Amino acid sequence: MAALTADIFDARDRARGVQSPWTVANGQVIYANSLVGVNSAGFLVPWANTAGHRFVGRAIEGCTGNTSVTPAVTCIVSEFDELPSALVASGVQASVGALISCATDNPADCQLGATANVKAVGVATRFRAAGVLDVRLFNLIEYHGLN
């Protein structure tokens, strides 16, 4: 799969977590229902397998960062969220409890195990079918503490 190029709208994917505004990095495009993190400067960016990024949650809305305006553009992010029926390559019943990582902002890129530059973004909580798991996403504090 690849990084998102448009908002994702799915009736199953209603925000389940705590919703908070985060200031978006200048020029960064965040798509609705994409995975997001903060960069080393503390601004919200699309999630990527980039050293220094810290996972925050799932964007509830789409937005484009503009730090030249006052106030700067913010995006509402759902923390403590879950991805129901996430496609996870090689996901089986024994995967429940396993750490899940993602190399892009696209939830369909979830995988078991780690990526090269960033930590796991969540944990598998339910097996639904081969390659389909519910994933409980970490928030920023859990990302730091549980990995």
pLDDT, the chain, mean? 89
Instruction: Give the angle subtended at the CA of 57 by the CAs of 39 and 50, to the nearest 5°.
Output: 35
End-to-end CA distance of the chain: 24
Contact status, residue 112 vs residue 91, Cβ threshold 8 Å: yes
Residue 1 has a pLDDT of 59
Q: With a cut of 50, say whether residue 11 has pLDDT above it.
A: no
SS (HEC) of 18-83: EEEEEEECCCCEECCCCEEEECCCCCEEECCCCCCCEEEEEECCCEECCCCCCCCCEEEEEECCEE
Higher pLDDT among residues 79 and 3, named by residue: 79
Q: Across residues 85-98, what is the average pLDDT?
A: 90
Q: Using pLDDT thresholds of 50, 70 and 90, give the confidence band for residue 147.
A: low
Residue 86 has a pLDDT of 85
Q: Across residues 25-32, what is the average pLDDT?
A: 96
Higher pLDDT among residues 59 and 2, named by residue: 59
Q: Using pLDDT thresholds of 50, 70 and 90, give the confidence band for residue 16.
A: low
Q: With a cut of 70, say whether residue 39 has pLDDT above it.
A: yes
- Say how far apart CA 136 and CA 147 lie, in whole Å: 14
